[in-house]
């Protein structure tokens, strides 16, 4: 009888440990987040464990808005695998009204052996330094199964802690290639040139990533979080272990993916990858199977993302439908809504045709026109943001050069009013040169402001001011440009309202900024 009671108690304790209740001791922070940061998002795990995530922000908010980016790399012998091509990214979760935009969450570290065992083992593991190594030698199916167990556990034990979108709880999964590469390149925490850099936005790679050779990993898997993170605060995005992607592998065909879907994709390289070939664009296909078993590799692991469903509610679906109907319309901003554009005219024409073959041709033509218009609108938005970037930057130059001219003028008045200073001639020359330099800069700024206003108009520019301001907010290195953007936009709005070119006033407005 006693032995039966003991056995029952052991079974209960085993179940309790696997579900993560009070029988397990909470993990020390060093075992799940060795490099803590105030912006980390921490979610609980079974066995009193935790997992750290980081926000990957995207400055779009509408249900069908997304951000165009360039991924991959040009050159070399691997164009059919890594050729540069356009892609699009959008976050899952809506940020606060103050922050605007959206984001998805990416695990700060590669999934560790401790975390994997907490999700899959029958009993809870004891935290240790050794278990802070990335989990590896598991199959893609093992990785997906672990995410499924984590999702179910979160819903059963920590539903109130799961991020939600439109009231719908998010879920963890393997990342898509675009989610991974956008984050690996630094997202919006880096400028556009750094984002496109095939060598990664870091000064010294060995300070951030593990790769082959005695100066780095030296042929061994390394503990997570020992090195410095990338600009988004993510550790070991390159090297250490290859990271599994959610979708299958496709070859490239210049401007699109080839039609055949293959094995799964791993990204990032590992501790056996040479430094020269470690890059964010690298892609590798792996078969799901190895002869009669699942494929596994000691150098392949995974990292999770946390995202939300797309169609979260009836209201969200209605919003998506409304946005869809507006895609590709080419009405000029501010034009009366009852005035039909070419897309609407084609739709009306098609609906009034009885010939089914002709009707289908007209509908196809409408779709092609909408797609063409949409592409032009997206390219226009990028051009507007580029003009705003230039305008804000030139405003900083107007401030610097304008204040320097004021300094030279003040000195000249002070020292040369009575010709007492023997260097007055040289001072006058320098003063005149600075006046000419500032005059040219002011003219260049004014020309750009007027040209941009004339080409795009107030409504499209205003929309992109909001987007670009969010991008500057996310990138702390460029955050100081925000007041100059606001001043540039105020200058441009004034011109749009009164049509007056007042370069002198625009200069003074830039100079006033602190």
Angle at 276 between CA 274 and CA 278, to 5 degrees: 70
Residue 13 has pLDDT above 60, yes or no: no
Q: Where among 307, 332, 359 does a domain terminate?
A: 307
What CATH number did the domain enclosing 463 receive? 1.20.1050
Phi, psi values for residue 70, rounded to 5°: -115, 130
Q: Where among 254, 282, 307 does a domain terminate?
A: 307
List helix spans (H) across 158-300: 177-184, 192-195
Shortest CA distance to 65 belongs to which of 330, 377, 509? 377
DSSP character at residue 159: G
Shortest CA distance to 122 belongs to which of 6, 7, 17? 17
Q: Which pLDDT band holds residue 330 (cuts at 50, 70, 90)?
A: low
Residues 204 and 80 grouped into a single domain: yes
- The whole-number pLDDT of residue 1 equals 43
330: domain range?
A: 314-373
Residues 363 and 379 grouped into a single domain: no
Residues 349 and 405 grouped into a single domain: no
Q: What is the C-alpha to C-alpha distance for residues 510 and 514, in angstroms, rounded to an integer? A: 9
Q: What is the C-alpha to C-alpha distance for residues 377 and 361, in angstroms, rounded to an integer? A: 24
Residues 340 and 481 grouped into a single domain: no
Angle at 358 between CA 357 and CA 362, to 5 degrees: 120
For 126-143, what is the mean pLDDT?
97
Q: What is the C-alpha to C-alpha distance for residues 398 and 509, in angstroms, rounded to an integer? A: 9
Residues 363 and 385 grouped into a single domain: no
Residues 162 and 210 grouped into a single domain: yes
With beta carbons less than 8 A apart as the criterion, state whether 231 and 211 touch. no
With beta carbons less than 8 A apart as the criterion, state whether 114 and 131 touch. yes
- The whole-number pLDDT of residue 445 equals 94
Residues 249 and 339 grouped into a single domain: no
Rg (CA), the chain: 29
Residues 204 and 244 grouped into a single domain: yes
Q: Where among 290, 307, 324 does a domain terminate?
A: 307
| Residues 6+ positions from 440 with CB-CB distance below 8 Å | none
Q: Strand 305-307 and strand 300-301: pairing? A: unpaired
HEC string of 252-283? Answer: EECCEECCCCCCEEEECCCCCCCHHHCCCCCE
Residues 106 and 249 grouped into a single domain: yes
The 10s digit of each residue's pLDDT in 387-431 is 999 999 999 999 999 999 999 999 888 888 776 667 888 888 999
With beta carbons less than 8 A apart as the criterion, state whether 54 and 471 touch. no
- The whole-number pLDDT of residue 100 equals 82
Phi, psi values for residue 498, rounded to 5°: -115, -5
DSSP character at residue 158: -
Q: Per the structure block, which two tokens stand in for 285?
A: 């296909």
Shortest CA distance to 266 belongs to which of 175, 186, 200? 175
Continuous segment of H or E residues that includes residue 400? helix 356-416
C-alpha to C-alpha distances, 350 to 263, 267, 339, 345, nearest whole angstrom: 43, 46, 18, 9
- The whole-number pLDDT of residue 335 equals 45
Q: How many CB atoms lie within 10 A of CB 234?
A: 21
- The whole-number pLDDT of residue 425 equals 84
What CATH number did the domain enclosing 39 receive? 3.90.1580.10
Residues 340 and 303 grouped into a single domain: no
The 10s digit of each residue's pLDDT in 198-233 is 777 777 899 999 999 999 999 999 999 999 999 999
Q: Which pLDDT band holds residue 62 (cuts at 50, 70, 90)?
A: confident
HEC string of 433-445? Answer: HHHHHHHHHHHHH
- The whole-number pLDDT of residue 359 equals 67
Shortest CA distance to 196 belongs to which of 91, 66, 84? 84
In the beta sheet, which residues pair with residue 11? none
For 494-508, what is the mean pLDDT?
94
Residues 388 and 412 grouped into a single domain: yes
Residues 359 and 479 grouped into a single domain: no
Q: How many domains does the chain have?
A: 3
Shortest CA distance to 238 belongs to which of 192, 206, 215? 206
DSSP character at residue 135: P
Q: Per the structure block, which two tokens stand in for 159?
A: 């539903």
Q: Per the structure block, which two tokens stand in for 86?
A: 């356009």
Shortest CA distance to 461 belongs to which of 510, 512, 389, 511? 389
């Amino acid at each position: 009888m006693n032995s039966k009671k003991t056995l029952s108690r052991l079974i209960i304790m085993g179940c309790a440990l696997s579900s993560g209740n009070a029988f397990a001791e909470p993990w020390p922070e060093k075992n799940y987040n060795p490099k803590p940061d105030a912006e980390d998002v921490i979610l609980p795990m079974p066995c009193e464990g935790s997992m750290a995530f980081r926000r990957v922000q995207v400055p779009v908010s509408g249900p069908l808005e997304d951000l165009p980016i360039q991924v991959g790399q040009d050159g070399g012998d691997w164009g059919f695998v890594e050729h540069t091509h356009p892609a699009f990214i959008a976050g899952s979760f809506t940020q606060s009204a103050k922050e605007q935009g959206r984001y998805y969450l990416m695990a700060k570290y590669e999934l560790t052996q401790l975390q994997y065992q907490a999700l899959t083992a029958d009993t809870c593991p004891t935290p240790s330094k050794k278990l802070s190594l990335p989990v590896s030698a598991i199959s893609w199916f093992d990785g997906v199964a672990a995410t499924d167990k984590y999702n179910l556990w979160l819903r059963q034990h920590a539903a109130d802690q799961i991020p939600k979108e439109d009231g719908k709880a998010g879920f963890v999964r393997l990342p898509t290639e675009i989610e991974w590469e956008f984050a690996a390149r630094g997202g919006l925490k880096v400028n556009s040139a750094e984002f496109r850099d095939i060598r990664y936005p870091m000064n010294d790679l060995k300070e951030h990533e593990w790769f082959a050779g005695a100066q780095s990993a030296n042929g061994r898997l390394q503990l997570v979080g020992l090195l410095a993170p990338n600009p988004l605060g993510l550790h070991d995005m390159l090297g250490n272990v290859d990271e599994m992607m959610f979708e299958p592998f496709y070859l490239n065909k210049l401007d699109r993916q080839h039609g055949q879907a293959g094995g799964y994709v791993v990204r990032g390289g590992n501790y056996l990858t040479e430094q020269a070939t470690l890059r964010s664009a690298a892609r590798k296909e792996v078969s799901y199977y190895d002869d009669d078993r699942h494929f596994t590799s000691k150098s392949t692991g995974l990292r999770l993302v946390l995202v939300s469903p797309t169609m979260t509610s009836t209201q969200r679906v209605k919003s998506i439908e409304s946005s869809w109907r507006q895609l590709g319309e080419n009405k000029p901003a501010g034009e009366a809504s009852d005035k039909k554009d070419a897309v609407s005219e084609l739709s009306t024409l098609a609906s009034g045709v009885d010939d089914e073959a002709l009707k289908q041709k007209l509908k196809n033509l409408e779709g092609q026109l909408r797609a063409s218009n949409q592409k032009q609108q997206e390219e226009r938005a990028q051009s507007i943001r580029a003009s705003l970037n230039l305008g804000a930057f030139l405003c900083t130059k107007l401030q610097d050069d304008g204040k320097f001219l004021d300094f030279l003028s003040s000195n000249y008045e002070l020292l040369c009013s009575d010709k007492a200073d023997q260097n007055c001639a040289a001072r006058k020359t320098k003063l005149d040169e600075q006046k000419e330099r500032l005059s040219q800069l002011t003219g260049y700024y004014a020309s750009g402001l007027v040209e941009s206003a004339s080409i795009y108009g107030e409504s499209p520019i205003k929309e992109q001011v909001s987007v670009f301001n969010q991008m500057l907010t996310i990138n702390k290195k460029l955050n100081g440009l925000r007041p100059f953007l606001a001043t540039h936009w105020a200058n441009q709005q004034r011109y749009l309202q009164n049509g007056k070119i007042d370069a002198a006033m625009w200069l003074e407005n830039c100079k006033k900024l602190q």
